[in-house]
Amino acid sequence: MNFRLQTQEGSSCRRRRATREVMVGDVGIGGSHPVRIQSMTRTDTTNVPATLRQITQLARARCELVRVAVPDEESARAVREIKRRARLPLIADVHFDYRLALLALEAGADKIRINPGNIRQPRRLLPVIRAAAERRVPIRIGVNSGSLPPSLIAKHGGPTAAALVELALEQAEFFEEQGFGDLVFSLKSSSVCDTVQAYRAFAQRSDYPLHVGVTEAGPMLQSAVRSAIGIGCLLLEGIGETIRVSATAAPVQEVKIAKEILASLGVRHFGPIIISCPTCARTSVDLLSIVRHVETALDRMDIAEPLRVAVMGCAVNGPGEAREADVGVAFEERLAHLFRNGKVVATVTHDQALVALLEQVSTLVGSC
């Protein structure tokens, strides 16, 4: 059965820009592949068991690519054991010392992230390029506003979008001169506006896949809002092949926010979407508690389809929203009306409504 949300997929989004394909392990990005979700571990990389536990948690949350910090030789060598047992393609995050990238490649990393803002002598990257080409491992050029070369900051009067783009284009030219094109780029700023402007400008001048995110986006709520605006704005314009929500929070929370961004735009679907009202004086039930129960029950049912479930608290917009959902309930003063595929299928008391709604969900999913 085709749920209603599927017929709307991509209706509000511009067609994605055409990019080259890059393979990270067995996960493809760019080309015809879906927008991928990435996160990063918070553990000490040398603590292999702890790092693997976090990667497993991310995989269960439907993260598709994971990055680990490689600040020293011991961390680079730990990549080998992590890679052997990890459930996700492994990206080694390298700063300052190009030799750590070489060690990570030897250890089997599926992708290398380097920062041209703190590895500033291009010739030092030549052995990294050769080693990556031999192993067919892609490289992400991660340009960040917080680590731009002083010369570019002076030239542009700060870590502006133009400064980010200039450095990214310089890097693209250098790697192309070496015959290496298996690249992904990111141009991140803690400023949402600068981030969007930088990605827009770079996307107009290249066909490289882009890893999109707002860097250093803050604690949970701030990160969710800033990431939704920045990443969402770019995805609506067809820009972005992988995304990472940067939050000062557990990495699984980053994945949850990323999934909500993609699902809200109709870019990808990860299961049911709950439509519910914020409540007001017209609400005659404890809607907050009911919605929490519905959310928990849907999680336990492990539904993969993009089912729209409406839980509405009064007669103003309730019947309309419930009618437009796949399954819905609209509470009135004493009764609740159950909807399925746009039609009223039952009228029950408030006490019966939650069980009746979930029964309708089970019946609908079971009929597919």
Query: Token digits for 263?
Result: 């699902």
Predicted confidence at residue 302, as pLDDT, reads 86
Q: How far apart are the first and last CA of the chain?
A: 5
Residues 106 and 34 reside in one and the same domain = yes
The kind and range of the H/E element at 273 are strand 273-276
Mean pLDDT value across residues 200-223: 95
Report the mean per-residue pLDDT for the chain.
94
- The string of pLDDT tens digits covering residues 311-341 is 999 999 999 999 999 999 999 999 999 999 9
Give the three-state DSSP class for 8: coil
**Is pLDDT above 80 for 3?**
no
Least confident among 62-66, 218-222, 227-231: 218-222
The whole-angstrom separation of Cα 214 and Cα 204 is 19
Q: What is the SS3 assignment for 65-126?
A: EEEEECCCHHHHHHHHHHHHHCCCCEEEEECCCHHHHHHHHHCCCCEEEECCCCCCCHHHHH
At which of 264, 281, 311 does a domain end? 264
At which of 216, 244, 264 does a domain end? 264
The whole-angstrom separation of Cα 127 and Cα 157 is 33
The whole-angstrom separation of Cα 264 and Cα 238 is 15
In the structure, what pLDDT confidence band is assigned to residue 366 with cuts at 50, 70 and 90?
Answer: confident
Residues 14 and 44 reside in one and the same domain = yes
CATH number for the domain spanning 341: value is 3.30.413.10
Count H helices and E strands in the chain, helices first. Answer: 13, 15
**Is pLDDT above 60 for 2?**
no
Predicted confidence at residue 16, as pLDDT, reads 87
Residues 171 and 23 reside in one and the same domain = yes
At which of 213, 239, 264 does a domain end? 264
**Is pLDDT above 90 for 146?**
yes
Residues 287 and 190 reside in one and the same domain = no
- Tell me the residue range of the domain where 42 lies: 4-264
Residues 146 and 51 reside in one and the same domain = yes
Residues 189 and 338 reside in one and the same domain = no
CB 230 within 8 A of CB 8: no
Residues 235 and 287 reside in one and the same domain = no
Q: Quote the DSSP letter at residue 147.
A: G
**Is pLDDT above 50 for 5?**
no
Mean pLDDT value across residues 33-58: 98
- The string of pLDDT tens digits covering residues 104-135 is 999 999 999 999 999 988 899 999 999 999 99
C-alpha dist (Å) from residue 13 to 5, 270, 274, 275: 14, 18, 21, 21
Residues 300 and 251 reside in one and the same domain = no
Residues 240 and 156 reside in one and the same domain = yes
Kindly state the percentage of the chain with pLDDT values over 90: 89
In the structure, what pLDDT confidence band is assigned to residue 4 with cuts at 50, 70 and 90?
Answer: low
Q: How many domains does the chain have?
A: 2
CB 167 within 8 A of CB 149: yes
CATH number for the domain spanning 238: value is 3.20.20.20
Residues 56 and 143 reside in one and the same domain = yes
In the structure, what pLDDT confidence band is assigned to residue 217 with cuts at 50, 70 and 90?
Answer: confident
**Is pLDDT above 90 for 141?**
yes
Predicted confidence at residue 102, as pLDDT, reads 98
- The string of pLDDT tens digits covering residues 259-303 is 999 999 989 999 999 999 999 999 989 999 999 999 999 999 989
Residues 153 and 240 reside in one and the same domain = yes
The whole-angstrom separation of Cα 26 and Cα 65 is 10
C-alpha dist (Å) from residue 24 to 9, 74, 157, 168, 206: 26, 23, 36, 21, 20
Q: What global pTM score does this model have?
A: 0.91
**Is pLDDT above 50 for 7?**
no
Residues 292 and 243 reside in one and the same domain = no
The whole-angstrom separation of Cα 149 and Cα 123 is 16
